[in-house]
């Protein structure tokens, strides 16, 4: 059973700091949040929360108020595969609704297939803007050697799609397949990106199965994926097309408005 609660004590912030270091291995690089800033945000009414399992911290999340009546979730880290990230998001949603907020925003790496599926298919969030090299050069163990492209993602808290997944009795849906008639604008062919036509009403943009592993095993192919997704997905979004889902745990679904 996962319990999520707000954090207020220095010892708790130090536990979150240690958890984030264990996930990202920042080394000599600057972490995205410090113990002192967590303390300040918590004291000023910002969002600092921890997820506990059997009394042990297994997830943490830090956010701040943003324009547009929103909470911006700056950094969230959790042990994978046990529903901890989902529990943190539901706690964020309750916290934001209690304060009259309408949406939660965050950024994530568009090449992280697992995160794309979680954000779009499981939570019902939607990317709003493609941000090339948003954080500049990053030196943690997960991002090292790559450019920090991000998708700014919006979670409209009272949208029927979001309310459906947030209900206590919600049943997990099977992964949606590609929409009928969709054209593949970026395919995975033998592990490499191959561009296709982009002029259809609905197109699919593939992402690699494991970009984190690819960065270490084949940096050249990882870079090819980064630039291909930036050109195709980023280009389509810049034209005003909308990302409406993540199909088959493999493809962004992009539609003309």
**pLDDT for position 45:** 95
**pLDDT for position 143:** 72
Buried b (16+ CB within 10 A) or exposed e, 71-103: bbbbbbbbbeeeebbbbbbbbbbebbeeeebbb
CA 105/CA 156 separation, integer angstroms:
9
CA 129/CA 218 separation, integer angstroms:
28
Q: Where along the chain do its domains lie?
A: 2-166, 183-255
**pLDDT for position 177:** 83
Give the global pTM.
0.92
What number of other Cβ atoms are within 10 A of residue 239's Cβ?
Answer: 11
- Regions in the chain scoring below 70 on pLDDT: 28-29, 138-142, 145, 171-175
**pLDDT for position 171:** 62
- Tens of pLDDT, residue by residue over 67-105, are 999 999 999 999 877 899 999 999 999 999 999 999 999
Q: In angstroms, what CA-CA distances link 66 with 29, 70, 159?
A: 26, 5, 19
Q: Which CATH architecture has domain 2-166?
A: 3-Layer(aba) Sandwich (3.40)
**pLDDT for position 81:** 74
Helix (H, G, I), strand (E, B) or coil at 162: helix
Q: What are phi and psi of 152, to 5 degrees?
A: -80, 120
Alpha carbon 201 to chain centroid distance? 26
Q: Who's near 220: CB < 8 A, 6+ residues apart?
A: none
**pLDDT for position 60:** 97
Closest to 12 in 3D by CA, of 63, 72, 52, 64: 52
In the chain, what are the helix, strand and coil shares in percent, each to the nearest 5? Answer: 30, 30, 35
CA 36/CA 148 separation, integer angstroms:
25
**pLDDT for position 3:** 96
**pLDDT for position 1:** 86
């Amino acid at each position: 059973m996962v319990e999520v609660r707000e954090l207020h004590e220095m010892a708790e912030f130090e536990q979150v700091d240690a958890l984030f270091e264990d996930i990202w291995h920042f080394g000599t690089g600057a972490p995205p949040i410090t113990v002192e800033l967590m303390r300040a945000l918590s004291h000023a009414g910002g969002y600092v929360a921890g997820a506990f399992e059997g009394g042990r911290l297994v997830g943490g999340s830090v956010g701040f108020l943003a324009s547009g009546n929103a909470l911006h979730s700056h950094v969230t880290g959790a042990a994978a595969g046990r529903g901890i990230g989902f529990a943190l998001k539901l706690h964020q949603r309750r916290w934001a609704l209690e304060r009259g907020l309408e949406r939660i925003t965050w950024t994530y790496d568009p090449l992280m297939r697992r995160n794309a599926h979680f954000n779009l298919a499981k939570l019902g969030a939607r990317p709003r803007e493609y941000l090339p090299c948003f954080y500049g050069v990053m030196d943690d163990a997960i991002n090292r050697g790559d450019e920090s492209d991000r998708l700014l993602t919006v979670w409209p808290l009272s949208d029927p799609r979001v309310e459906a997944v947030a209900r206590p009795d919600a049943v997990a849906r099977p992964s949606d397949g590609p929409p009928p008639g969709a054209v593949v604008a970026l395919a995975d062919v033998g592990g490499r990106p191959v561009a296709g036509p982009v002029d259809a009403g609905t197109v699919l943009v593939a992402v690699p199965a494991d970009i984190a592993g690819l960065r270490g095993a084949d940096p050249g192919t990882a870079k090819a994926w980064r630039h291909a997704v930036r050109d195709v997905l980023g280009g389509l979004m810049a034209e005003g097309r909308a990302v409406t889902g993540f199909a088959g745990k493999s493809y962004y679904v992009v539609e003309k408005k």
